[in-house]
Amino acid sequence: MVMNEVYEKLKDKIQIDRIRRNESMQEHTSFKIGGPVDIMVLPASVEEIRYALQVCKDYQVPYHVIGNGSNLLVRDKGIRGVVIKIAENFSDVRIEGNRVTAQAGILLSALAKKMMKESLAGFEFASGIPGTLGGAVAMNAGAYGGEMKDVVTGASVLDHDGKVSWLCRDELAFGYRHSIVQQKGLIVLEVEMEFQKGDYEKIKEITADLTQRRTTKQPLHLPSAGSTFKRPPGHFAGKLIEDAGLKGVRIGDAQVSELHSGFVVNVGSATAEDVIHLMKLVQKVVRDQFGVELHPEVRIIGEE
């Protein structure tokens, strides 16, 4: 079986405790949903990421690159092939004055704490976004008026052929929940950002205020993938869904949140099919009532 050969080949250059077989994706997504992946690799260096890609290419095995899984829905049959998870094993940070360089696997919440400690202002908006830096750059994540494009000056990326390139802010082509990284399927390795020196107490106060707003208005107590749909031009997805009378509607254990209609949450043992059927229902009702098309913000992967 080819996956046995892939596993043996990966062991040549990656420690065995960072290669996992038949790993449940429920443990690697904030939705707590999804079947197993054939092989998961947790690389700790650029060389290991490149090597894992090369092995997949050599054996013609499909692969997916993920971060913290906070914007991800994995189908119930799981994932055939390899998942390369760039997370805590790849999360070093260097701070030199106002310039911060960080590896793609660091959590935004952890990075925001480091910024606060150094009295660097401008990253408060990201303190509660539950993803990695690499994923945030790929989708130009944002909240409360701030976006990654506001602080990123450039990023080191890896393409499917194993070539490393440096892209400046303009070359990253940031748009609403979009970047060239997402468009071309590049892998973010390292990100350079620039901030302004600020007042520690003021930064702490802003962060606390945003945290308070999040915890009171978003269903953080239940598994979800954050905002389920992108914001349609001229509208707010959550308001459209609520106005369509869909707040609290559920299919199986997937529910339109009773706290914030922009979130689909897992209230128990929801399956990916539950979530997908609920998303389709929401899209149809909003389209029929308001003529507005809702596009998923959550990324859906896995075997159908």
Q: State how far the alpha carbon of 256 is from the alpha carbons of 135, 161, 263, 277, 283, in Å.
A: 24, 41, 6, 12, 12
Phi, psi of 42 (to 5 degrees): -115, 80
What letter does residue 27 receive in the DSSP assignment?
G
For tokens 């690499």, the residue is 134
**Which pairs count as long-range contacts for 286-293, CB under 8 Å and 24+ apart, including other chains?**
286/240, 286/241, 286/244, 286/246, 289/243, 289/244, 290/235, 290/240, 290/243, 290/244, 292/232, 292/235, 292/240, 293/232
Let me know if 27 is a catalytic residue. Answer: no
Q: What one-character DSSP code corresponds to residue 128? A: T
Burial of 293 (0-12, 13-18, 19+ CB in 10 A): exposed
Which of 77, 84, 70, 76 is closest to 39 using CA atoms?
A: 84
297 an active-site residue? yes
Structure token digits, residue 116: 């606060």
Q: Which of 258, 273, 297, 299 is catalytic?
A: 297
For residue 170, give both structure tokens. Answer: 């303009």
Count other Cβ atoms within 10 Å, centred on residue 212.
10
**Residue 136 and residue 149: Cα distance in Å, rounded?**
10
Spatial separation of the C-alpha atoms in residues 238 and 243, rounded to whole Å? 9
Catalytic-labelled residue, pool 70, 91, 179, 227: 227
Q: Among 75, 91, 177, 192, which one carries the catalytic annotation?
A: 177
Q: Would you please indicate which residues are annotated as catalytic (active-site) residues?
A: 177, 227, 297
